[in-house]
Structure 1
Amino acid sequence: MTYPGYTIQQHAVDITSVKAIQQQLNEKGCGPVKVNGDYDLDTCYAVMLFQTRFNDVNGNPLDADGIVGPITWAALFGVKNIKAIVTPPNRLLSAVLDIARSQIGVTEFPAGSNDGPSVYKYHDAAGIASGQRWSMAFVYWCFNQACTNLVMENPVFKTGDVTQGWLKAKGKILTNHDAKLNTSLILPGQVFIISTGPGLGHSGFVEKNENGMLTTIEGNVCANSSDGQVGVFRRTGRIIDTINTGFIQFE
């Protein structure tokens, strides 16, 4: 049974998906529940029991919330039943991802300084001083490079401030709430925005959406705490729920 692309929970109207969930819950020993397509309280409790007993596809405990999103679906039905989303929706975002990939491995010097010869270009592109946080400046620089190659105007607001990048974005906005309800709307090349406090945040690119997990390319992050290097890295296993603000899709 293929994941429908949206969250299944109480009062869901997708009878076919609910029946499949109920059948699978019974087979996994988390019932008995009636296989009738009604996501009632008994079905919700059975889902919570399943989430308590079983891990996700990466071996991590499931969140026992009684909601069947892509992570719980993959645990119930297997990873082959979740379609990976790997294709950007337009040529601009495809070009931007190529630019972002070319920067993987660029690091600060010294680590944790928000500075260094390799990251000056991100600061300069966004018009911010060296030593400032630069995840959004990295996003802006990647778009600038791609737009120069494609001979088109950069649609991203020029800033190194994540909050301003979100508030002034002239693109399609996908809130974290809508993204969790319909995970199929999260596409490669979109810019994700995380709030880390009043006026502060972190941003990066979605590279792949698979099994309820995102593969991302991010600047101003540490990928390996043992070496402490901060730079541009590919990160896997970022849960959609951790994107607490939303996503921007530029055209």
Structure 2
Amino acid sequence: MDYPGRLIKIGEDDAAIVQALRRQLGLMMGGDSDPVARLDPKGTVFDAGMKRVVKLFQARHVDSAGRPLKQDGEIGALTWGAIFGTESVPASADAGTDLLARVLAVAAGEEEKEVREVPMNSNRGPDVEKYLARVGAPGGLPWCCAFVYYCFDEASKALGRTGNPMVRTAGCLDHWNKAVAKGATRIPAAAATADPARLAPGMIFIMDHGRGAGHTGLVESISAGILATIEGNTDASRTREGGGVYRLARKVGEINKGFIDYGPLG
């Protein structure tokens, strides 16, 4: 059964979905031999007992990237993929427009160059300062958003466009606030978590770390609720103050602000 594009939780009114989940959870959790995980496979109500079994399933299983599932008793794309298989959740690797495809090609080229801060943890270095200069910012500032702007700028020039559609800023949250005025579409975090099929390669993710701090990067592909990303000012720890350009994997649910889509302008 394919993921229906929304969170499934207590009160779900689609009896067929609830029954299919009960049946599959029973098979995967050994309900016949484990009373704690037992569910009536003919039941059609997502009740407190079913939520308890879903939480138990989440505690015992991992997502498609091998990471622990969130133990909330609700079934989003990651838990659904763990229950029914990753092929039941939409995946996408097609940027959809020439602009976004070129943006990702530029970002991939920077990642392949192994761009790193010089010295490390300084927010400086020839490439870093090149990114910051594109948004009119001095060296030494956080540069994840400047990296994304640089990728859009280089892609726009390569395609002979008269301008870069992205907001010219080094601020992740400033970008989020101004994107709609530039003609971009915003997808809030809750909507993306409920239905990752709304996301596509070439979109920009925005994370809010509080007190005006944030982090951003490019979505390269999506599979079963896992984002493959290309990001600047990060590293394998997936922090917002890392020392280079890296390819990383993130859960859609990690992105707590949302996504920006310049596809309609491409």
Find out whether 1:222 has 2:227 as its counterpart.
no
More displaced 10-residue stretch of structure 1: 71-80 or 97-106: 71-80
The Cα shift of 1:196 comes to 1.6
Residue 118 (structure 2) aligns with? 109
Residue 86 (structure 1) aligns with? 93
TM-score, length basis structure 2:
0.87
More displaced 10-residue stretch of structure 1: 238-247 or 37-46: 37-46
The Cα shift of 1:129 comes to 0.1
Residue 58 (structure 2) aligns with? 51
Residue 240 (structure 1) aligns with? 252
The 5 A counterparts of 1:1-251 are 1-28=1-28, 29=31, 30-104=37-111, 105-152=114-161, 153-169=163-179, 170=182, 171-223=184-236, 230-236=243-249, 238-250=250-262, 251=265
Q: Distance in 1 between matches of 2:13 and 2:96?
A: 29
Q: Secondary structure at the match of 2:54?
A: helix
Are the structure 2 counterparts of residues 95 and 66 from structure 1 closer, same or farther at C-alpha, using a change threshold of 3 Å? same
Are the structure 2 counterparts of residues 90 and 36 from structure 1 closer, same or farther at C-alpha, using a change threshold of 3 Å? farther
The Cα shift of 1:16 comes to 3.1
The percentage of aligned residue pairs carrying the same residue is: 37
Count, aligned residues: 248
Contact 1:106 1:118 in 2 (8 A): yes
Q: Secondary structure at the match of 2:70?
A: coil
Q: Secondary structure at the match of 1:49?
A: helix
The Cα shift of 1:36 comes to 4.0
Q: Which ranges of structure 1 fall in alignment gaps of 5 or more residues?
A: none
The Cα shift of 1:118 comes to 2.0
Are the structure 2 counterparts of residues 189 and 114 from structure 1 closer, same or farther at C-alpha, using a change threshold of 3 Å? same
Deviation string, structure 1 residues 124-183 (Cα, Å, up to 9, x no partner) = 101100111100000111111111122222111111111111111131000111111111
Q: Which ranges of structure 2 fall in alignment gaps of 5 or more residues?
A: 32-36
Contact 1:6 1:181 in 2 (8 A): yes
The Cα shift of 1:101 comes to 0.7
Letter aligned with residue 46 of structure 2: Y
Deviation string, structure 1 residues 30-88 (Cα, Å, up to 9, x no partner) = 32234344323222222112112323334333222111112111211222323321112
Letter aligned with residue 177 of structure 1: A
Letter aligned with residue 150 of structure 1: L
Contact 1:223 1:230 in 2 (8 A): no
Are the structure 2 counterparts of residues 111 and 70 from structure 1 closer, same or farther at C-alpha, using a change threshold of 3 Å? same
Letter aligned with residue 155 of structure 1: P
Q: Secondary structure at the match of 1:111?
A: coil
